[in-house]
Amino acid sequence: MPTELTSDTGSHPGHAPGDETEQEPVTQDAGAEAEDQPLPENAVERFIAEHVQPRRHEFRSAEQLPSAAQLLGTALARRRIEVKKIVEGRWAFYFAGTVIGGLSHGLTTLVSAHARRVLGDAEALRGHLKLMDIPCAEEGAELSGLQLRGFVVGRELVSMLALIPPYEYDDAVGGPEAVRLLDSTAADSGAGQPQVIAVDVTELVSEYISSLAVDAVRAVPGLFAAGVDLEVFSLESLRSAVVLDVDENADLLPHHVPTLGPGRDVADAIAEQILISAAL
C-alpha cells in the first residue's frame, strides 16, 4: 500500500497510538432509552425515505479527490509537524525537533502493537468487546439493519456515516438511478459502479450510538483512532444495535467527502491526537 504523505498516491493512514496507558473500564448504559415502540420493518428503506431521497439533488458528483495520505499530510503541516521518511513505508513525525509519532505502512502511532494484534483476530476483538459488555455481532450473523461506519479519534466520535448499497437505494425509490460514490473503497468497482452510498449522520445519531462507537474503540488497549462499523435499527435507539467491526485501517476519504452531507475533518482530529498523545 503506497503511503507517500505528500504525493497523489492513495494510502490509508491508519490511526491509534503506541501509548499503552491503562484505560478506564468501559460501561454501556443501554437502558437509558425508552424502548416501547416496535422495530421498523425495514430500517434501510425507512432511512432512505426520511434522509436520502428528499436530498437526492445534493449528492456529490465524481471529482478529483485527494488521497488519504494527502489529507493527513496537510493536517500535520497545519500544526508545523514535519514528516521525514525513514525507510520505505515508514515516516517519523517531528515537532520542534522532537519525534512525537510516526507512520508505518499506513498506520500511525495511534495504533499500538497490541491493538494491531487484537484487531487482527476477530475472535480476540469480540472477546475484548464482550469483556466490556459491548454488544457485538457473532461471526456469520445475517445483517438486516442499517449499517453505520463511525470514526473515533481519542475519546470522541468525529464522523458517522450511514452506508447504503446502491441496489437497496434503487429498490427503495422504485427503480435504478445512476449514483457515483465518492468513496475510495469503491475504486476496484470501476467508474460509475459504487459499492455504497455514504451519508453523513454525525449530528443525527443519538448520544447512545455515539457512545457505543467510542466504547468499542476504548475496549481495545492502545487504540486511539479507528473506524467502527455498527448495525442499528434506528438512529435514536440502541435497541438491537451491535458492533460489527473495529478497523484500524479504516479509510479517511469517505468521511471527508461523503456522497451526501458535510465532510468531517478526521485527518485534522488524528493530527491533533498525535500531539496530545506526545504530551502525555
Quick one: average pLDDT of 200-218? Answer: 97
Rounded Cα–Cα distance for residues 103 and 87 (Å): 11
Please indicate, yes or no, if residue 194 is contained in any of the structural domains.
yes
Please indicate, yes or no, if residue 11 is contained in any of the structural domains.
no
Does the structure show a pLDDT above 90 at 87? yes
Does the structure show a pLDDT above 80 at 61? no
Give residue 188's pLDDT. Answer: 38
Quick one: average pLDDT of 141-152? Answer: 93
Give residue 96's pLDDT. Answer: 94
Kindly report the CATH number assigned to the domain that includes residue 52.
3.30.470.20
Rounded Cα–Cα distance for residues 80 and 82 (Å): 6
Q: Which domain does 122 fall in, by range?
A: 26-60+108-264
Rounded Cα–Cα distance for residues 225 and 214 (Å): 10
Give residue 62's pLDDT. Answer: 63
Lowest mean pLDDT among 116-125, 133-142, 189-198: 189-198
Quick one: average pLDDT of 217-237? Answer: 97
Residue 74 burial (C-beta neighbours within 10 Å; 0-12, 13-18, 19+) = middle
Quick one: average pLDDT of 240-249? Answer: 96
Better-predicted residue by pLDDT, 203 or 54: 203
Please indicate, yes or no, if residue 17 is contained in any of the structural domains.
no
Lowest mean pLDDT among 28-32, 85-89, 256-260: 28-32
Give residue 136's pLDDT. Answer: 96
Does the structure show a pLDDT above 60 at 151? yes
Rounded Cα–Cα distance for residues 253 and 183 (Å): 6
Does the structure show a pLDDT above 60 at 79? yes
Give the pLDDT confidence of 18-35 residue by residue, as tens digits.
Answer: 444 444 544 455 444 444
Does the structure show a pLDDT above 70 at 5? no
Please indicate, yes or no, if residue 103 is contained in any of the structural domains.
no
Please indicate, yes or no, if residue 218 is contained in any of the structural domains.
yes
pTM for this prediction: 0.80
Number of domains, the chain = 1
The residue to which cell 435497541 is assigned:
239
Please indicate, yes or no, if residue 65 is contained in any of the structural domains.
no
If one counts every other C-beta atom within 10 angstroms of the C-beta of residue 273, the result is: 23
Please indicate, yes or no, if residue 96 is contained in any of the structural domains.
no
Percent of the chain residues past pLDDT 70, beyond the cut: 75
Give residue 161's pLDDT. Answer: 97
**Long-range CB contacts (< 8 A, 24+ apart) of 93-101?**
93/274, 95/275, 95/278, 98/278, 100/274, 100/275, 100/277, 100/278, 101/17, 101/18, 101/274, 101/277, 101/278
Rounded Cα–Cα distance for residues 50 and 45 (Å): 9
Quick one: average pLDDT of 107-120? Answer: 96
Lowest mean pLDDT among 121-130, 147-156, 179-188, 233-242: 179-188
Lowest mean pLDDT among 65-69, 124-128, 152-156, 209-213: 65-69
pLDDT-derived band at 171 (thresholds 50, 70, 90) equals low
Report the chain's mean pLDDT, rounded to a whole number. Answer: 82
How far, CA to CA in Å, does 264 sit from each of 154, 201, 218, 222, 237? 15, 11, 21, 24, 23
Does the structure show a pLDDT above 70 at 6? no
Give the pLDDT confidence of 121-142 residue by residue, as tens digits.
Answer: 999 999 999 999 999 999 888 8
Quick one: average pLDDT of 171-175? Answer: 60
Sheet holding 107-108, edge to edge: 82-87, 90-95, 98-104, 107-108
Quick one: average pLDDT of 207-236? Answer: 97
Does the structure show a pLDDT above 70 at 272? yes
Please indicate, yes or no, if residue 52 is contained in any of the structural domains.
yes
